[in-house]
């Protein structure tokens, strides 16, 4: 079931798209200067989200199921990449041997390296399937199954 986009402006998604793409450029610049790999993931996330919001603006101008599915998928996968960056920042902090450190810092650091892999894989696999089932068909059974998958994707990100 495709949401209505009649009467909406393309301005807001276009501005958000431009901002995400600007963040991507800044992230690539920081990657080149610092060689810190977190900036590569951040740039990847920003590019996905920027392209996603550009698809949202295109969908408002010319409503299409495919554009909306691409927007939802890229936004979700881009958000997943942002969550991965947060995990890795926390892992880096936990690996610094300064006091005070939380109890079980080594275990938390390992989890912060393992969980992003699972989160990223789930976002990349589940999101396209979920949004295709929700917005690619008017079949209620497919929509319900897609909503369950969307909810599963949501609960992968929320606890962290």
Domain spans of the chain?
11-157
Give yes or no for a contact between 2 and 68, defined as CB atoms under 8 angstroms apart: yes
Q: How confident is the model at residue 157 (pLDDT cuts 50, 70, 90)?
A: low
Contacting residues for 134 by C-beta, under 8 A, at least 6 apart: 1, 142, 143, 146, 147, 150
Could you tell me which residue, 155 or 63, shows the higher pLDDT?
63
Tokens of 108: 């938390």
Per-residue confidence (pLDDT) for residue 158, from 0 to 100: 56
Residue-wise pLDDT tens digits, 91-128: 888 877 777 777 778 888 888 888 777 777 777 788 88
Give yes or no for a contact between 24 and 46, defined as CB atoms under 8 angstroms apart: yes
Residue-wise pLDDT tens digits, 137-153: 778 888 788 888 777 76
Distance CA(70)–CA(144), nearest Å, equals 19
Per-residue confidence (pLDDT) for residue 5, from 0 to 100: 52
Residue 22 has pLDDT above 70, yes or no: yes
Tell me how long the chain is: 160
Give yes or no for a contact between 68 and 79, defined as CB atoms under 8 angstroms apart: no
Per-residue confidence (pLDDT) for residue 23, from 0 to 100: 94
Residue 1 has pLDDT above 50, yes or no: no
CA distances 153 to 22, 41, 108, 127, 158, Å, are 27, 19, 22, 7, 9
Per-residue confidence (pLDDT) for residue 89, from 0 to 100: 85
Distance CA(65)–CA(72), nearest Å, equals 11
Q: How confident is the model at residue 156 (pLDDT cuts 50, 70, 90)?
A: low
Distance CA(15)–CA(145), nearest Å, equals 33
Tokens of 58: 């295109």
Per-residue confidence (pLDDT) for residue 27, from 0 to 100: 94
pLDDT, averaged across the chain: 82
């Amino acid at each position: 079931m495709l949401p209505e986009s009649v009467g909406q402006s393309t301005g807001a998604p276009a501005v958000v798209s431009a901002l995400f793409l600007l963040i991507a450029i800044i992230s690539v610049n920081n990657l080149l200067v610092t060689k810190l790999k977190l900036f590569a993931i951040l740039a990847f996330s920003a590019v996905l989200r920027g392209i996603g919001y550009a698809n949202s603006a295109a969908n408002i101008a010319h409503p299409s199921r495919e554009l909306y599915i691409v927007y939802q998928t890229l936004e979700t996968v881009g958000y997943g990449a942002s969550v991965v960056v947060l995990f890795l920042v926390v892992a880096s902090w936990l690996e610094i041997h300064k006091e005070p450190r939380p109890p079980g810092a080594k275990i938390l650091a390992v989890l912060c390296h393992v969980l992003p892999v699972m989160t990223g894989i789930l976002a990349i696999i589940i999101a396209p399937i979920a949004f295709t089932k929700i917005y690619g068909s008017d079949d209620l059974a497919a929509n319900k199954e897609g909503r369950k998958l969307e909810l599963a994707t949501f609960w992968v990100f929320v606890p962290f």
